[in-house]
Amino acid sequence: MSLDLSDAERNLLLEILDERHTSMLHELHHTDTYEYKQILREKIDLLEKLRQKLRAAPVN
């Protein structure tokens, strides 16, 4: 899959992902349920990978 983004679109998407990442880390810290923590950890991992891909992608 390929997605062409402008610099402004890429930066906005990264900003949104960064905000959600911070929010999920906070939620993880305050969650007591083991199963929910596992779900959050998996989602956080995916978010981190996506953020890395966006940062490494060449800007159009």
pLDDT digits (tens, 9 = 90+) for 1-10: 888 899 999 9
C-alpha distances in angstroms, 9 versus 13, 33, 37, 57? Answer: 6, 36, 31, 13
Q: Return the pLDDT at 30.
A: 97
Hey, what long-range contacts does 5-8 have (CB within 8 A, 24 or more apart)?
A: 5/57, 5/60, 6/60, 7/59, 7/60
**Per-residue pLDDT band at 60 (split at 50, 70, 90):** low
Cα(30)–Cα(26) distance, rounded to whole angstroms? 7
pLDDT tens per residue across span 3-47: 889 999 999 999 999 999 999 999 999 999 999 999 999 999 999
Length of the chain: 60
What pTM was computed for the model? Answer: 0.85
Q: Is 5 helix (H, G, I), strand (E, B) or coil?
A: coil
